[in-house]
Amino acid sequence: MKRVFGVKAKKEPPPSIEDANERITKRGDTVDEKIKKLDVELNRYKDQIKKTRPGPMQDGIKARAMRVLKQKRMYEGQRDMLYNQTFNLDQVQFAAEGIKDAQQTMSALKSANKDLKGMMKTVKIQDIDNLQDEMMDLMDVSNEIQETLGRSYSVPDDIDEEDLMGELDALEADMENESEGVPSYLQPDKESDFDSELNLPSAPTGQTAVPHGRANAQV
């Protein structure tokens, strides 16, 4: 059967945008090389025209220069056409890459949306509120425990604030005495004036009066 009808030839895949762009770019480079060669030839003809006198010889050089100039214009037109083709291919390639990026973005969003829906099924607002309430209760209990453990066993509960203020004033007075010199508890006790307390008369300071008889005896 294959010998009668033959075998269907395999179709080659169509060229991609990158392949077409690369091929056109190579053709443009080839055309640029040809234009450069024609420029060199034109410059040579220009020098010859300057060196020759008007006449048949100069006319022949001008005719060759005109032919080279026409070829250059033709190649420049081809180069411009190839550049336009590469520009169009670049635009198409940019649009195709943009569509591919959009497809990937959509796929990523769909996957993320599916994952979020699955996670939201396991998380409930009521559970979060209950957890917050439990945490607040635990924090209150923890604060009460800390306050209870921080109590001092040696401090009685029935302390008079006026007594404490009196002791505080005494401490401030001692601190003032310390700043002036010797502390109050190191200062010597003052002797009490017993004479003033007993209301005794003071000792005589001048000459005492002598009785008359005793004075005569002394004489």
Domain boundaries, the chain: 17-116
Q: pLDDT band at residue 217, thresholds of 50, 70 and 90?
A: very low
User: What pLDDT does 57 receive?
Assistant: 84
Q: pLDDT band at residue 215, thresholds of 50, 70 and 90?
A: very low
pLDDT at 155 over 50: yes
User: What pLDDT does 181 receive?
Assistant: 55
In angstroms, what CA-CA distances link 21 with 14, 28, 40, 92? 13, 10, 29, 11
Q: How many CB atoms lie within 10 A of CB 29?
A: 11
Q: pLDDT band at residue 7, thresholds of 50, 70 and 90?
A: low
53 φ, ψ (degrees, to nearest 5): -90, 160
What's the rounded mean pLDDT across residues 125-129?
A: 86
pLDDT at 4 over 50: yes
CB 37 within 8 A of CB 53: no
157 φ, ψ (degrees, to nearest 5): -85, -30
Q: pLDDT band at residue 152, thresholds of 50, 70 and 90?
A: low
Residue 217 burial (CB < 10 Å; 0-12/13-18/19+)? exposed
Residue 51 burial (CB < 10 Å; 0-12/13-18/19+)? exposed
Rounded CA-CA distance 90/95 in Å is 9
User: What pLDDT does 19 receive?
Assistant: 83
Mean pLDDT comparison of 4-8, 127-131, 166-170, 178-182, highest-scoring range: 127-131
